[in-house]
Structure 1
Amino acid sequence: MTEQQPYNVLGRYPGFELRHYPAHIVAQVTVNAGFQGAGNAGFRHLYAYISGRNSFLPPPEQPPSGTDGQALAMTAPVLLEPSAIPGAFCVAFVLPAELTAAAAPVPEDPAVSIVSVPGQTAAAAAFSGRWSEANYQSHLQDLLAAISAEGFTPLGGPRFARFDPPFRPWFLRRNEVVQDVEGPGD
C-alpha cells in the first residue's frame, strides 16, 4: 500500500476540508511544460530518483554501507503547482515521513532537488476525474470561492494533488486541489 502524506483535519466546511500538514520533505523538479505535459515530464525525473538514481549518504555515526542508489517507497500524492518561472511547473513527490532532508538520498539528476516544507494549514477539495487543466481550474475556482465565503485568505499558490496511477480509470481517480490559507482568528 502506498504511504499517504499525513495531515490532521481541523474542520470541515462547505466545499473543503481544513487540514494541518506537518513539516515534510519533497523531491521536486521544475519543468518548462504546460499543465498537461508537466506531470509526465516531472514524473520521469522523480521516479528515477526514488527508483535508486541517487546516492545514499549514511549519517556520520553510521559506517558507509558501500551501496549507492537507495530505492524509496512511492508515496502519494504527486504534487503539481505553478512555478515562479512563467510557463513552468514544479512537480514533487512527498518523501516517506521517516526521512529528513539531511538523511534523504542525494539525487544524481541535477534537476531534482530535496526541499524541506514547513508545516502548513491548507484547504483541500477532493474530486475525481481526468487530470486536465480545465478540470483542475474549475475545482480551484470552486475552492477559492468556498475559502472566501468562510473568511479564509489564500496564501501562496495552489497545488494539484494526484493520488492514483495513470492506468486507473479517470472516473475512479482521487484528486485534490489544495490551497494554503490563514483563517479568521489566525
Structure 2
Amino acid sequence: MSIRIPFMVKLLGLGVLVGLASSGIAEDGYESAEYKVVEKDGNIEIREYPDLMLASTNTDPDARGRDGSFMRLFGYISGANEGEQKIAMTTPVFMEAGQAESEGKMGFVVPKNVVDSGTPEPKSSSVAIRKREGGRFAVIRFPGRMSKELAKENEAKLRTWMESKSLAGEAKAETAGYDAPFTPGPLRRNEVLIRVQQPESVEAPGQ
C-alpha cells in the first residue's frame, strides 16, 4: 500500500495536468488576461485586448495537450527557463489554429509582473516567448466540454453575428479555456475569439 498510494497520486496528478490543456485551468484564484468590454450582446462581446506575452509551443489541436504540448509549457513555468524562475499559472490557455488542421499553437499568458521584470527565456527550443498583438476581438462564450465540433459551431454563430453588425473578421479563430477538467460541462467557460479587422483610415484631401 505504501508503494501504490504515491504512484496513484502521481498518476492522478499527471492526468489532471494533461487534462487541463483541453479546456484551460480553473479560473478562480488565477490572474487572467486583461481586456476591456466595448460591447455586449448576450454571450457575445467585443473586447479590446492589450499586447500579451505568451509562452507558446506547437500542438495538434485534436490532441488537447496529450501530445506533450501542455507539459512543455508547464515545465517552462515550473522553472525550465533561464532564471529557473517559478511562474504563476494564468488564464486562459489560448489555442491558435495553424495552416493545417493538425497544426496549431498553445499559449500560456505570462503574468504581468513577470513581463515587467523581464520574461525569462525557455530552456527548451520547443517553447518560445512571443507577443500576442493586442486589438479588438469578437468573442463568444459557451459551456460544455471543448471539442473541435463545439468550437466550430460557436465560431459559426459568432461569424453570423459579426456579419449582422457589418464587422469583418480574420479567417482564423482562437479558442480559450479557463477550467480544470473535473469542472462539470455546464459550468465550464470556453471562448472563441476572432480578431476584428479595422477599416483602413482614409486620408483627407490634400494630406
- Could you say which structure has the higher strand fraction? 1
For the 8 Å contact 1:15–1:146, the answer to whether it is kept is: no
Equivalent in the alignment of 1:55: 82
Equivalent in the alignment of 2:66: 40
Per-residue CA distance 1:5-37 (angstroms, 9 max, x = gap): 000011113652000001110010012x2x330
Per-residue CA distance 1:79-122 (angstroms, 9 max, x = gap): 11112355211100111122338811111111100001222100
- From 37, 45, 49, give the equivalent of 1:21: 49
With over 3 angstroms needed to count, the CA separation of the structure-2 counterparts of 1:39 and 1:146, relative to structure 1, is farther
C-alpha RMSD of the superposition: 2.1
Equivalent in the alignment of 2:190: 175
Partner AA of 2:31 in structure 1: E
The share of aligned pairs that are identical, in percent, is 29
For the 8 Å contact 2:87–2:114, the answer to whether it is kept is: no
TM-score of the superposed pair, with normalisation by structure 1: 0.84
- Could you say which structure has the higher helix fraction? 2
TM-score of the superposed pair, with normalisation by structure 2: 0.76
Distance 2:30 2:43 in 1: 26
- From 111, 117, 123, give the equivalent of 1:108: 123
Partner AA of 1:90 in structure 2: K
- Runs ≥4 residues deviating over 4 A: 183-186
For the 8 Å contact 2:173–2:192, the answer to whether it is kept is: yes
Counterparts in 2 of 1:67-146, with a 5 A limit? Answer: 69-84=84-99, 87-100=102-115, 103-146=118-161
Distance 1:120 1:133 in 2: 25
Q: Which runs of 5+ in 1 are unaligned?
A: 57-68
Q: Which runs of 5+ in 2 are unaligned?
A: 1-28, 202-207
